[in-house]
Amino acid sequence: MKKRKQNVIRLFCTACLSGILATGCGTAPVSADDQVVDLPSSADSGSTAPSQPETTPDSTTADNSGDTPNAETTQADTGTDNTDGRWHVFPPDVAAAVDADFAGDVRKIGENTFYIAEEQVMLFEDGSIGSSSPASNVTVPESDLIPVVYDETTHFYLRTIYNGETHEDTEASSQDLALTQSVELKGSFENDVFHASEVRIIKVS
């Protein structure tokens, strides 16, 4: 009887031990759903968020107003060269060659004024000078005559040319002007009127 009780106790203990072994003696495993993962914060990892790129002004949009030339261009000073008029003084090289600013032949004489037909003067490459003007017997329309005005300060003189080679200058006045006579002038244009500072009357002998 006593031996049977011991066997029953042994069997019971064996069964308990088997149950304990079957369920395990450790702590219950944590399911994947119950796991909590602590992610390192940016402060813990020592990393910093990438900074925004620093924007700089686009060089193409820079203010280039300082490099823009003034819209008002500076026009060369032409003095009283009658830039917008019909008549113009000789170019500098021609003026230097003939020692005059304009030339013509007298077609009409008034008070402190006389009118001339234009004489065109040309300077050739070899330095020689040529000229052309209407023939003395050709009637020049009034609209093509150029008024020349003078005053008491205008210097008149007569240049007499001998054989086309030599000349002689003598004092003269407005009274020495004559129709179809050639004159060489110094002065300037203003509103298509020539204001003479010097009148050289040409006489060919």
pLDDT in tens, 48-98: 444 454 555 454 444 444 444 443 333 333 344 567 799 999 999 999 999
Domains and CATH numbers, the chain: 92-204 (2.40.50)
**pLDDT band for position 174 (cuts 50, 70, 90):** very high
pLDDT at 40 over 70: no
Q: What angle do CA 18, 20, 26 make, to 5 degrees?
A: 140
Nearest residue to 130 (alpha-carbon basis) of 107, 157, 103:
103
Instruction: Tell me the residue type at 162.
Output: Y
Cα(9)–Cα(60) distance, rounded to whole angstroms? 99
**pLDDT band for position 37 (cuts 50, 70, 90):** very low
Question: Are 162 and 168 a contacting pair, CB within 8 Å?
Answer: yes
The H or E element spanning position 97 is helix 92-98
Nearest residue to 103 (alpha-carbon basis) of 84, 79, 131:
131
Cα(182)–Cα(199) distance, rounded to whole angstroms? 10
CA distances from 62 to 59, 68, 120 (A): 5, 13, 55
Q: pTM of the full predicted structure?
A: 0.60
Q: What is the pLDDT of residue 146?
A: 98
